[in-house]
Amino acid sequence: MRYGDKGSSIATALLLGALAVTLAFTLAGISFTHLNISNRLSNCLYARNLAEASLNDAIARILYSEGGYGNTGTPDEKTIQVYFEGAPEGAEGLLTFDSGKAAALEIAVSTHNLENKEAAIPGYGRDVPPECIHLVGTGRCNGVVERIEVMLAIPTYKHAIAATGKFTSTTGGMEVEGVESPEDLADGIITEEESRPGHIAANGVDDDAVWLKGTGGSVRITGDVRTRGRVKIEGDVTVLGSLLEQADPADIPRIDPGGYDPGNSALPVGAAPGDLEVTGALRNNGPLMNVDELKLSGGYLFVDGDLVISQGIVGEGIVIATGDITLLGEGALEADKAVALVAGGNLTIDGDGKDASYFEGIVYSGGERLDIKEATVLGALIGSGEQTNVKAEDARIVHADTEVLQFEWFYEASWGAGTYGFNTRINPDLWLPREGEIRAEYARRPGIADEGPAWAPADRPPWANWFNQSTERFEYVVYTLDDPYEETAGWNPPIIHEATPPAGETRPAIYYKNDVGWVARYDFDGDGDPEEPPLLQFTAGGAEISRTRARDLYTQGIADDIAAGREPAPYPFETQERLGFLNDSPHPANGFLVDCFRLADIIAQNDDSIQEGFIRFDPNRFLQFAKKTRIVMWRPLQ
């Protein structure tokens, strides 16, 4: 008994002790587990945020470089490493397009397949479709690894016909097709092997947003028919693609004809009464209603108003009118490679038949209607006003890639007593940036966002800045480059202009070249006096805006829209031709200040009289890259 009592006493104590210890350990264990889970969740959040940050950084760089980032460059340039201030030690976000770098960092590689228009290529864990970029972002934090994959799609413009309003074809005989190369249409016949989809898009919302009627001749469409509304079909209509009703609106390029105003260019025009031959750039100050035949000999006709041509267009060149364009009559439309027929208003083409009337390039209307009848267009038909209705009757519209939308051209430029240099490079990128920060990229090395400015503060060239109302920031453009190149490790942008503004000169000015050399001229009255440099100044949206009439010197895009009472258009980002520069010196507070403009590019400097360049009306260039880029997949990766 006593032994039993003794035993029970110590056993009880030990048992209680053991229970207590167990309880203590359990509590400690629970606490530890709780803390561990809590820390892990916190680390997961950091890792996920880091992975997302690396992805967003990559997306921003891709948009910034218009798809270039990740495609070329050194392994380091193709790799993004992100760190957060205050994050645990060693936490980082990683993304790379370089397989060697990916192996070294033990992360998945991202795949760039944007240039490839046809085939998918193998990416990390999946095939990457053409015109896509596959991104894999990795976040690491205290042993927690989070991976997220994103698929970006940047489709090229593929519509044979696009309308912001309705599309109608009710007389039959319409054909909408596509080819890979213009040669495929050379004999007028597109074989089955040569045939590509020709798509139609109409952003109208009505039940007959697309109305296809195949009575009086069959209607054949080799691609998709897409609309925000519905498709109405009657008679013999064949659609080889899909009918996409109540779809998202299609991205349709918008072109501002005013941006192509050649200004006071008294350039050679060989005009016979009734007929007009344009060999250079011609600006008609007002409507031009009495042209019989327009012959484009590598020429460029800009009409500030309506244009009526009664006997068609022949040759190669560009026709732009701020008003309506009407091509009527008995004469043939035989533009070999007209590249662009752009009307700020309505556009009417009444040809002699699909085989007789032929146009190659963009046919564009910013008005209420675009009508085409009995003609063939190889290129694209675009109605992109507020709500432009497009109508095609017995017409053949064949979509082709950008090859048909570009041609080289040369013309002799002269103005006044001296030689007046124009930049002949006309493309949508002539708009100066709406966001100057973007241009800061190009003042460095293209594609490299993280490097410092190319110039030390003391070496900075003259620059221009203005106050952007939308971003409420000063933005900058460099016009004069005085040999910054050696400092930029191989980046060699074209030298634009070597003149330097006089010391202390801050007035708006144009630099132009005469017999003596580069001369700066100033104009404050904006009276359009041809004896003066074509510089205009006006106020819009509370900001002073300067604009020249010379092409390539258009310093604003927002102001025109504001002045016209419309929403500012999403002009495309600039290309490397435009040099921006982030200048951190003190800024004037007067909203807009321009030190100098450039009036010629490197071509003009090499030759006093003959200008050359290329003109391209690729619809893709009129669609802002960031706006047409789509995230088609965003998901965690195991």
Partner 1 sequence: MNRARAFTIAETILATFILSIVMMTLFNIFPTSSMAVKKAEVRLRADNLAQSALEEYRSRGFDSLVLDTIDDLGTSEAGGVRYSTTITTSAGTNALLKRLVAEVSWEFQGKTEQVRHETWIADIEAK
d(CA 101, CA 121): 19
Member of 89, 187, 450, 584 binding partner 1 (CB under 8 A) = 450
- Point out which residues pair with 302 in neighbouring strands: 283, 320
- 52 or 261, CB closer to partner 1? 52
Binding of partner 1 at residue 133 (CB under 8 A)?
Answer: no
Binding residues for partner 1 restricted to 3-62, rule: CB under 8 A: 3, 5-6, 9-10, 12-14, 16-17, 20-21, 23-24, 27-28, 30-31, 34-35, 38-39, 41-42, 45-46, 49, 52-53, 55-57, 59-61
* Stretch in the footprint of partner 1 (CB under 8 A) among 114-122, 206-214, 562-570, 629-637: 629-637
Member of 47, 63, 338, 464 binding partner 1 (CB under 8 A) = 63
Count the neighbouring beta carbons within 10 Å of the beta carbon of residue 407.
20
- 211 or 431, CB closer to partner 1? 431
Any alpha helices (H) in 65-131, and if so which ranges? 99-105
d(CA 442, CA 461): 14
Member of 47, 66, 73, 82 binding partner 1 (CB under 8 A) = 82
- Point out which residues pair with 412 in neighbouring strands: 610
Member of 71, 81, 84, 605 binding partner 1 (CB under 8 A) = 84
Member of 602, 631, 635, 636 binding partner 1 (CB under 8 A) = 631
Binding of partner 1 at residue 437 (CB under 8 A)?
Answer: yes
- 17 or 125, CB closer to partner 1? 17
In the three-class reduction of DSSP (H, G, I as helix; E, B as strand; rest coil), residue 219 is classed as: strand
DSSP class of residue 580? B
Q: Which residues contact 449 (CB under 8 A, 6 or more apart)?
A: 61, 64, 441
- 60 or 356, CB closer to partner 1? 60
d(CA 273, CA 293): 10
Measured CA distances, 236 to 173, 200, 244, 525 (Å): 10, 17, 19, 62
* Stretch in the footprint of partner 1 (CB under 8 A) among 84-92, 223-231, 373-381, 530-538: 84-92
Binding residues for partner 1 restricted to 240-259, rule: CB under 8 A: 248
Binding of partner 1 at residue 626 (CB under 8 A)?
Answer: yes
d(CA 84, CA 266): 59
d(CA 529, CA 596): 20
Q: Write b or e for each residue in 203-234: b if 16 or more Cβ atoms lie within 10 A of its Cβ, otherwise e.
A: bbeeebbbbbbbeebebbbbbbbbbbbbbbbe
Site string (164-183) toward partner 1, x via CB under 8 A: --------------------
- 13 or 602, CB closer to partner 1? 13
Q: Write b or e for each residue in 124-147: b if 16 or more Cβ atoms lie within 10 A of its Cβ, otherwise e.
A: beeebbbbbbbbbbbbbbbebebb
Residues that bind partner 1 in the complex, under the rule CB under 8 A: 2-3, 5-6, 9-10, 12-14, 16-17, 20-21, 23-24, 27-28, 30-31, 34-35, 38-39, 41-42, 45-46, 49, 52-53, 55-57, 59-61, 63-64, 82, 84-87, 248, 435, 437-438, 440-441, 449-450, 626-627, 629-631
